[in-house]
Amino acid sequence: MSNNKSCRLASQLASNAFERRLSFTEWFRLRLHLMMCQSCRNCEEEIHLLHDVLALIRKSNGTFEVDLPQKDRELIRDALRDVAKE
Amino acid sequence: MSSKKPENHEKAGEQTGNRNAEEWLTLYGDYLYRYALFRLSNEEIARDMVQETLIAAWKARKNFRGDSSIRTWLVGILKHKITDYIRKQIRDRNLANRLETDPTSDFFDAHGQWRQPVHGWAGDPERLSSNQEFLRALNACIAKLTEQHRHVFTLRELNGEDTDTICKACDITPTNLHVIMHRARLVLRKCLEKTWFGDNKAI
């Protein structure tokens, strides 16, 4: 990270931290940038929030309420009957 | 067979030995479909995944040990099917290494500064993760990601795969994976700001 002022690079590092361990230099530069930049602090907090929400959704098999349409249900049922015959 | 009154459908199925795929479809069809649709954002593919899952489960019905509920067992199979499907899409079509225009380039100016200030918002992860309306908004935003971003993001954040596994299975370099995840996160953040957090639906 050659440019300490770059928000684009700061947000890249903030995101990378979810996938890999940042080097000390990267970590330090990110923290330094965040100290100076409210927008990047907000961005970092918000991608953390999204990451946490997604982890909880994963754990609870979370999903929204939508029903398998009747025609799809019938298609699957027919396929299951075919397999059962084999 | 037991004369004990079954407490729920699952037990009823087990006790009568009626492990039959059509019954699973009746009992868990909606649940499996929701799970698949949330991760694939495509009704037709979600239906196919449910169908493949029930067929695979029926063929492997002797392997069901009863140490988990049937629903958990079926979701486990479905999760594998979805992971396989997405990996195959990424690998076979070389999706991850395809050069795409950077959807986040509009967010920054030539010096890498935010064009518009990033607003602060907050929410409670526990409550958000079980809020139906929010899950719909989140899913709508994931569905709008590019195919490449959506697939990689889903493997990572919704199926919880580690980065090594994704890189190997999908033939992506770690650098590419990091770039994709960064872009996907920023686009998702922006989308939810518009449709949820900035619209004061915070939970």
The kind and range of the H/E element at A9 are helix A7-16
- Cα gap A34→A11, rounded to integer Å: 10
In this prediction, residues B123-127 reach a mean pLDDT of 93
Cβ B119 vs Cβ B199: under 8 Å: no
Question: Rounded to a whole number, what is the distance in Å from the CA of B181 to chain A's nearest CA?
Answer: 7
Q: Does A32 touch chain B (CB under 8 A)?
A: no
- Cα gap B175→B177, rounded to integer Å: 5
What band does B139 get if pLDDT is binned at 50, 70 and 90?
A: very high
**Quick one: chain B helix, strand, coil %, rounded to 5?**
70, 0, 30
Whether B29 and A73 lie within 8 Å, measured CB to CB: yes
CB-closest option in B112, B126, B139 to A56 = B126
- Percentage above 70 pLDDT, chain B: 91
Residues of B in contact with A64 (CB under 8 A): 34, 38, 132, 135-136, 139
- Cα gap A81→A74, rounded to integer Å: 11
Tokens (6 digits) for B84: 């396989």
CB-closest option in A16, A38, A61 to B75 = A61
Cβ B150 vs Cβ B193: under 8 Å: no
> What is the gyration radius of the CA atoms in chain B, in angstroms?
20
Whether B135 and A76 lie within 8 Å, measured CB to CB: no
- Cα gap A22→B179, rounded to integer Å: 15
CA atoms within 13 A on the CB side of B80: 10
- Cα gap B137→B135, rounded to integer Å: 5
pLDDT tens figures, B77-96 = 999 999 999 999 988 888 87
pLDDT tens figures, A31-64 = 999 999 999 999 999 999 999 999 999 988 878 8
With a cut of 80, say whether residue B98 has pLDDT above it.
no
Cβ A9 vs Cβ A17: under 8 Å: no
pLDDT tens figures, B152-196 = 999 999 999 999 999 988 888 999 999 999 999 999 999 999 999
Residues of A in contact with B59 (CB under 8 A): 83
Tokens (6 digits) for B64: 């069901």
Residues of A in contact with B190 (CB under 8 A): none
Question: Rounded to a whole number, what is the distance in Å from the CA of A73 to chain B's nearest CA?
Answer: 8
DSSP-assigned letter for residue B131 = -
Residues of B in contact with A58 (CB under 8 A): 157-160
| Residue whose entry in the numeric block shows the structure tokens 């084999």 | A86
* Gap between the terminal Cα atoms of chain B: 48
pLDDT tens figures, B39-63 = 999 999 999 999 999 999 988 888 8
What band does B3 get if pLDDT is binned at 50, 70 and 90?
A: very low
Cβ-in-10-Å burial (0-12, 13-18, 19+) of B50 comes to buried
With a cut of 90, say whether residue B9 has pLDDT above it.
no
pLDDT of B91 reads 86
Whether A66 and B178 lie within 8 Å, measured CB to CB: no
State the alpha helices, DSSP H only, in B41-145: 43-59, 70-92, 125-129, 132-144
Closest-approach residue (CA) in chain A for B155: A58
Number of H helices, E strands in chain B: 9, 0
- Cα gap B5→A4, rounded to integer Å: 68
With a cut of 80, say whether residue B17 has pLDDT above it.
no
Q: Does A51 touch chain B (CB under 8 A)?
A: yes
pLDDT of B11 reads 47
Q: Does A80 touch chain B (CB under 8 A)?
A: yes
Residues of A in contact with B122 (CB under 8 A): 45, 49
Whether A66 and B159 lie within 8 Å, measured CB to CB: no
Question: Rounded to a whole number, what is the distance in Å from the CA of B3 to chain A's nearest CA?
Answer: 29
What band does B20 get if pLDDT is binned at 50, 70 and 90?
A: confident
With a cut of 60, say whether residue B7 has pLDDT above it.
no
Q: What is the DSSP string of A25-71?
A: HHHHHHHHHHHH-HHHHHHHHHHHHHHHHHHHHHHTT-----PPPHH
With a cut of 70, say whether residue A67 has pLDDT above it.
yes
CB-closest option in A7, A51, A76 to B112 = A7
Query: What rounded mean pLDDT belongs to chain A?
Result: 91
In this prediction, residues B1-17 reach a mean pLDDT of 43
pLDDT of A81 reads 87
With a cut of 70, say whether residue B151 has pLDDT above it.
yes
pLDDT of B180 reads 94
- Cα gap A85→B11, rounded to integer Å: 26
